[in-house]
Structure 1
Amino acid sequence: MSQSTGPRRVIARRRHGSHAVVDQAKDLDEALREGALELTKDVQDDELAHEVDGPSALAAAGATDFDYLLPGLAQIPANLLPSDTATVTPALDALGEAMIEQGASLGNAPIAPIHTYWGQFVDHDLTAATDNDLPITIQGDAVTVVPPDDVIAQLKNGRNPALNLDSVYGDGPFAPESSTEVVVPYQQADKAKLRLGTLTPLHGAAGVRIPPVDDIERDLPRVEQAVTGGLDLRTPLIGDGRNDENLAVAQLHVAFLRFHNNAVDWVRAHEPERTGVGEVFDRARQLVRWTYQWLCVHDYLDTVLSTGTVDQVLATEDGLLGRPFMPLEFSVAAFRFGHSMVRGAYDWNRNFGQGDFVPEAGLDLLFAFTGRGGLAPPGTPPAQFPPTLPDNWPAEYGRLVLLDPSFPKRAARPIDTHLADPLADMVNQVPDTTPAPGPDVAELLKHLARRNLRRGYAMSIPTGQAVAVALGLPVLSSQEMTGGLDAGVQTALEAGGFVDRTPLWFYVLRESEVRSNGHALGPVGSRIVAETIIGQIRNDPRSYLNQTAWTPADGVTFPDGSAVTSIADFIRFAGFPV
């Protein structure tokens, strides 16, 4: 492998919800059987195996801290779920099972689907969990609850949480190419621009080509030719392999690649004094990052949080996040609200949605049309897998970006205590490890609700009620927790003793139901998410918030001079009709 001159910015093999374990970890083999990855393979740096201990390996990999947003809260047992793990673990499983919908959702939020996957993209840009010498497991009949001090000491973040688009830019345009490592590729003819993948033509065999029909650069760059001892075919050559787990986030990643390339053209046209490739690249990346950060605050957060929360946190000179770390209350609980927004099926494009071919694109298909899924329908023989995304499958972004009451599948699900039923059996979630995880472990990794609840318990995340009190916000009453709740969920909540000591993830979802009718997060969820995301931007000295009153009007613009001030604008500047 190539020598690394600093922390690697490519995470190649991680699966959503899994974690990496340093090669020096205790019980490494057991961790691998439970679906973990060795850190050396995860970040493609063999040199990490030669570090003398786990902390040194994590430091060499550029890992940053996890910690609690509300210090000391988790140290008090009364603020946590009960310690009887043999009783609490199956009760959490029962609650997780009850949260999965049976059949299609009947509700919608006034939120476009793009916000669901923008949130997933942000999550991958902010967090990637790694363990040191104490693998934190969620497996077994009784979860082992790790004391808060041990969680802080052992769990590290493999991402720099600065919303700096490491997942897009990887190790930069001058990193050496490799046939055995995932390296983010830049164009040979113009190193300032990122390489894209081209579509595989089907010649009308399964629907029509998606407009603009002559635009074929609409897939992630992938390995398209087998090399002995090299990467697998269809491997995405991107800075975070998790962005190819489902087609929605993969197509959003494509939009980021294209937005950057168009920003390069804009810089050359509007700032001609910048002549060198490196200078143009750095300026374009800067403008892309600032636009992305601004949109995260003024479109994404303004859409999914309670009215006024963004302004309140921006107006506070010193927020809760006094330094750049990743809060556990955010990553393990509150920011997982997006899982509730995922639909079981979407009006994806004219072939798989409102059109003449197939009436919708189910999650099974959106997971299948990825590199890991073979880019083909389930059941397709591997010999017939195409090398890249077929030309009948690109997103028609207008269906994901613009709300239309006439088309319910063009909206996100409500933020509530239910998850779409396909999230109980998620494909693309079991890591490729040797030995492979056992069937019980594999089943758990694929069940999103059970996995979330167990993880929060294992990591000593305070209850929703304790967090609300600490933040000085109204606490949901017992009546609010149960009144009007789905009967199955209510039964599981009461049987588990969770009405007054509620897992934070569930509390955030229930708070949204009670306070916002599922249309936005409630006060507790909104505050945690806003403090974390705005705090990360504020703590980054290179962010737009630390410039002199930068706004999108100072960034890239359309030919008519208008600025990029919404996610819809972002998609249009990337070159896609909305």
Structure 2
Amino acid sequence: MATDHGTRMLQHLRHGADVLPDDAPGAKAEADRLATVSLAGSVVAGHDVAEVSTPFGYLFDDLADAFPQHHLPTGDPAGMTARLTALGTAMVEQAPADPAGNSVIPAVYTYWGQFIDHDITANTDRKTLFSDVAVEVVEPRTPADVTTGLRNLRQPALNLDSVYGDGPQGASAALYDGPALRVGRVALTTDAGDPVPGQRVTPEGDDSHDLFRDGTTAVIGDGRNDENLVVAQFHVAFLRFHNAVLEWVRVNEPHLIGRALFRRVRDLVRFHYQWLVVHDYLKTVTATGTVDQILLGGNRVFRPRHDTYMPLEFSVAAYRFGHSMVRGAYDFNLNFGRNPDGTALLPTAPFGLLFAFTGGARPAPFNGGGTTTLPFNWVIDWNRFVHKGDGDATHFARRIDTRLVPPLTQMVNQVTPDDEAQLPDLLQAVLRHLAVRNLLRGYSLAIPTGQAVAAALGVPALTTAELQAGNGDELNRALTDGGFLEATPLWFYLLKEAEVKSNGNALGPAGSRIVAETLIGQIRADEGSYLHRGWTPARGVRFPDGGLIVSISDLFRFAGVLPA
């Protein structure tokens, strides 16, 4: 697979939207509905979908071929919809949060995972004509229907087309200022000229810490990266990293000009990113040794074909483990978090407020704060998110387990004005409740059970006692009444596996294998990746003292977004 094939912008694709190939049932009506979804500036419709999309498939073909033998029962969709809703409703952490629920994974990994997801997948979430969970009865599709009717709007390669689009000479030229990527400046005053309150997080004069905007719309390769403030600031870090690498190459390789200069910079950024995904991100969130086993021993389960695909067991179940890592509030910076001099504007940044300071905020961007760009007081202090040796437990993600924080049951940004006008309150509640939506989506898209996947991987299945360990009465009642102790939804199963096998500080054996094999396999399938080039950080950019970039905090330092 060529790295540059099919790169594109998903600037107006809001989180959860999807499209159908032209031969899928209802495709024409769905294309008409997607008037605001554009790829590289063009509305997706009809045959165009096949040209710009890549396939989804199943990691375990034998399980899919035997459908529904290894899946949740399909004979009573109404009953299963109710039982899955009850299970998801019970997957809620008690408030206030239990201090014992903190993991040893720094909080940045939650949103780094979201950034990766937006780089490799688009199309498996929320309400669509093909797979709608906001209905009274969710009907399960057959695996053949799913692979025919659902397409991935992203290349699964980790090639950062969510950042680069199709380059400065393509339809995504608005992202660029020459070979540099455009970065927006934060607001020091409101549009009325009043000063924004609070203290600076960045040095005086360093104000390029917002996404570049056309009005309130972020001009970026994937609009979902303006969904919440942490992932938006993560995207800003990569824009600035590209520009810092550009300056490094100009100094150290001055013979490069024009397109050759841009390609060299883009390759370096991609290689650093891919290497860090494998050696920092994956080694942090998966069981010890998993990554090295795959790098040295090869992929056993996910073997990408020439027309590489995205495994549904990964995108619909295993890779949604990050939802359980979300905190209900963050120590965000001096203004919205801990401040030694006691002048913080808020003692924490509640999770819901992180959606009020992005271009997707409702009813108005930046919480109606009088500015169409990010106020300077909301620039993130990455020092509170990235350090593994941090002595503050609240700077870490929540454990990977079956308990989600309460704000994830009321995801206001998941309900559109059309939803509010057309759907009854009960179905709007389904869209807002992340756990319920994930479970219903897995049922709809024919995801096999956790027990079936464990058997296919040769991993001992969780026992009934392990599935019930540490649960509240409501959750255990939902597991028992739903018949889920014998046939467990894969997403729930892998969260519970992490909880009982890794104490929530990493994925368990099955989850680790699916996640690591998929991401490493996608890099292996890309002929332009760092693995195919035999690249290491020793061949990348360096700090003035010769130091290498070997962690996400190093990349942030090089980009100038990690304060000293």
Q: Same fold (TM over 0.5)?
A: yes
Task: Say if 1:23 and 1:38, in contact at 8 Å, map to a contact too.
Answer: no
- 1:101 corresponds in structure 2 to 93
Question: CA offsets, 1:355-385, max 9 Å, x none?
Answer: 122110011110101011169798x55xx54
Find out whether 1:135 has 2:130 as its counterpart. yes
Cα 1:335–1:184, aligned 2, differ >3 Å: closer, same or farther? farther
Question: CA offsets, 1:111-152, max 9 Å, x none?
Answer: 101100000000000101179x97122232221100011111
User: What is the SS of the residue equivalent to 2:87?
Assistant: helix
Distance in 2 (CA, whole Å) between partners of 1:199 and 1:369 is 12
Task: Say if 1:375 and 1:385, in contact at 8 Å, map to a contact too.
Answer: no
Which of 257, 272, 294 aligns to 2:239? It is 257
* Residue 292 of structure 1: how far off its partner (Å): 0.3
Which of 557, 560, 563 aligns to 1:575? It is 560
Task: Say if 2:60 and 2:456, in contact at 8 Å, map to a contact too.
Answer: yes
Q: TM-score, normalised by structure 2?
A: 0.91
Q: Mapping of 1:268-307 within 5 angstroms?
A: 268-274=250-256, 276-307=257-288
- 1:216 corresponds in structure 2 to 207
Distance in 2 (CA, whole Å) between partners of 1:306 and 1:339 is 18
* Residue 185 of structure 1: how far off its partner (Å): 1.9
Which of 96, 118, 124 aligns to 1:124? It is 118
User: What is the SS of the residue equivalent to 1:109?
Assistant: strand
Question: CA offsets, 1:237-279, max 9 Å, x none?
Answer: 00101000100000000000000001111111111221x2211
- 1:186 corresponds in structure 2 to 176
Task: Say if 1:108 and 1:411, in contact at 8 Å, map to a contact too.
Answer: yes
User: What is the SS of the residue equivalent to 2:461?
Assistant: coil
* Residue 59 of structure 1: how far off its partner (Å): 1.9
Task: Say if 1:244 and 1:370, in contact at 8 Å, map to a contact too.
Answer: yes
Which of 297, 309, 312 aligns to 1:316? It is 297
Give the superposed CA RMSD: 2.5
Distance in 1 (CA, whole Å) between partners of 2:439 and 2:124 is 19
- 2:11 corresponds in structure 1 to 12
Question: CA offsets, 1:168-226, max 9 Å, x none?
Answer: 0112112357xxxxx64211xxx110010000103764211212232100000011xxx
Task: Say if 2:13 and 2:36, in contact at 8 Å, map to a contact too.
Answer: no
Distance in 2 (CA, whole Å) between partners of 1:44 and 1:544 is 26
Task: Say if 2:9 and 2:41, in contact at 8 Å, map to a contact too.
Answer: no
Range 449-458 or range 102-111, more displaced: 102-111
The one-letter code matched in structure 2 to 1:534 is: I
Which of 493, 496, 500 aligns to 2:479? It is 493
Distance in 2 (CA, whole Å) between partners of 1:351 and 1:47 is 41
Find out whether 1:457 has 2:447 as its counterpart. no
* Residue 321 of structure 1: how far off its partner (Å): 2.4
Task: Say if 2:87 and 2:479, in contact at 8 Å, map to a contact too.
Answer: yes
Question: CA offsets, 1:96-125, max 9 Å, x none?
Answer: 111022313211000101100000000000
Cα 1:271–1:254, aligned 2, differ >3 Å: closer, same or farther? same
Task: Say if 1:23 and 1:39, in contact at 8 Å, map to a contact too.
Answer: no
Which of 184, 195, 205 aligns to 1:197? It is 184
Task: Say if 2:196 and 2:377, in contact at 8 Å, map to a contact too.
Answer: no
Cα 1:482–1:368, aligned 2, differ >3 Å: closer, same or farther? same
Distance in 2 (CA, whole Å) between partners of 1:531 and 1:143 is 30
Task: Say if 1:367 and 1:427, in contact at 8 Å, map to a contact too.
Answer: no
Task: Say if 1:415 and 1:512, in contact at 8 Å, map to a contact too.
Answer: yes
Distance in 2 (CA, whole Å) between partners of 1:291 and 1:423 is 32
Task: Say if 1:22 and 1:38, in contact at 8 Å, map to a contact too.
Answer: no
Distance in 2 (CA, whole Å) between partners of 1:376 and 1:39 is 22
- 2:229 corresponds in structure 1 to 247
The one-letter code matched in structure 1 to 2:505 is: H
Cα 1:442–1:11, aligned 2, differ >3 Å: closer, same or farther? farther
Distance in 2 (CA, whole Å) between partners of 1:570 and 1:8 is 24
Find out whether 1:401 has 2:386 as its counterpart. yes
The one-letter code matched in structure 2 to 1:243 is: N
Distance in 2 (CA, whole Å) between partners of 1:369 and 1:281 is 32
Which of 361, 372, 384 aligns to 1:373? It is 361
Distance in 1 (CA, whole Å) between partners of 2:43 and 2:412 is 32
User: What is the SS of the residue equivalent to 2:102?
Assistant: coil
Cα 1:333–1:554, aligned 2, differ >3 Å: closer, same or farther? same
Distance in 2 (CA, whole Å) between partners of 1:437 and 1:480 is 42
Distance in 2 (CA, whole Å) between partners of 1:89 and 1:322 is 33
Q: Mapping of 1:82-97 within 5 angstroms?
A: 82-83=73-74, 84-97=76-89
Distance in 2 (CA, whole Å) between partners of 1:374 and 1:570 is 32
Find out whether 1:540 has 2:530 as its counterpart. no
* Residue 306 of structure 1: how far off its partner (Å): 0.3
Distance in 2 (CA, whole Å) between partners of 1:309 and 1:375 is 45
Task: Say if 1:40 and 1:46, in contact at 8 Å, map to a contact too.
Answer: no
User: What is the SS of the residue equivalent to 2:130?
Assistant: coil
- 1:526 corresponds in structure 2 to 512
The one-letter code matched in structure 1 to 2:276 is: L
Distance in 1 (CA, whole Å) between partners of 2:286 and 2:34 is 37
- 1:348 corresponds in structure 2 to 332
Question: CA offsets, 1:47-79, max 9 Å, x none?
Answer: 754xxxx4x33222x211100011121233231
- 1:41 corresponds in structure 2 to 37
* Residue 404 of structure 1: how far off its partner (Å): 5.7
Which of 155, 163, 181 aligns to 2:158? It is 163
